[in-house]
Structure 1
């Protein structure tokens, strides 16, 4: 279910086109939520892919697209991710930290390393209760 899906200011780039290019599928299935992750005033897209090509027993592929105004640019792709997906109040290297659910671990904190978010969330630290309470829910079950 999509939660943090606020409308974009003025111009909204074609997210479907960007996701299609990233997945090499003509009509990929996905859920999306929006949040300004890098503080530039544009809402970036948090995309959770759906379907047997992208999901397994541990979760689904998760992508973050930066809104550049005219188009979305793929910034990050992660594996084994499930909702809930939240944006933390904290940030690392100029981007908001993300809290995602993964496998049997639960909610983990994913930090931006300057180029991307981690590929495998199951290797990241468990998100503390205070990090979870202060976060903005973007995608939920």
Structure 2
């Protein structure tokens, strides 16, 4: 009986905690809840995203690329994901452009920048006709991880394509690359959920 009363008391206190106004929480509790919400937000497709300070350098490089194609960030939204492609412990950047200038029925344009340290980047590849999801495979070619993308050959049909590093960069046209075998695709899936990052 004593255990039942204690259990009921615990359940009641847990239930009441959910009814407390956020302003009534102590800063410690508030910080805990905020950190849990951020953790939940950063978890996509079962993997926790690593925190990375998104530098202005990448945005400046993307802006220059857009301007060279008579476009701007306002009419050409973009999303950048950061991941180490060549195993040098420096994050590289994959940027998916969108908007009518850089997307068609087959896919959109993807920029790949190599991280060169001190939060600076060098553009090494521009690949057209890319669709998500994009998987950074565990397999490598010439020291760089293979990348699996989607390519839509028509409105109803898309196929997985594997992009391999050729020593200088990744292929410029996904449509011309070999089809990926599902059994060879394993690695980190990039979601490109937020634009302009």
TM-score range, shorter chain: 0.7 to 0.9
Aligned to 1:139: 191
Q: Write out the 4+ residue segments of structure 1 that deviate beyond 3 Å after TM superposition.
A: 2-5
| Structure ID, larger Rg | 2
CA distance in 1, matches of 2:72, 2:150: 28
* Equivalent residues, number: 137
Which of the pair is proportionally richer in helix?
A: 2
Find 2:176's aligned residue among 102, 118, 123. 123
CA distance in 1, matches of 2:121, 2:136: 19
Would the alpha carbon gap of residues 140 and 107 (structure 1) be closer, same or farther in structure 2, given more than 3 Å must change? farther
| Runs of 5+ unmatched residues, structure 2 | 1-41
Asked if the contact 1:88/1:99 (under 8 Å) is kept, the reply is yes
Matches of 1:29 and 1:7 in 2, distance apart? 22
The match for 2:14 is: none
Q: Which runs of 5+ in 1 are unaligned?
A: none
Q: TM-score, normalized by length of structure 2?
A: 0.63
Find the residue that maps to 2:88 and give its secondary structure: coil
> Structure 1-normalised TM-score?
0.86
Aligned-residue CA RMSD (Å) = 2.1
Alignment partner, residue 7 of structure 1? 51
Cα offset, 1:21, TM superposition: 1.5
**In structure 2, C-alpha distance between the alignment counterparts of 1:138 and 1:97, rounded to whole Å:** 13
Q: Is the 8 A contact 1:36 1:44 kept in 2?
A: yes
Equivalent pair of 2:135/2:188 in contact (CA under 8 Å)? yes
- Structure whose residues are more often strand by fraction: 1
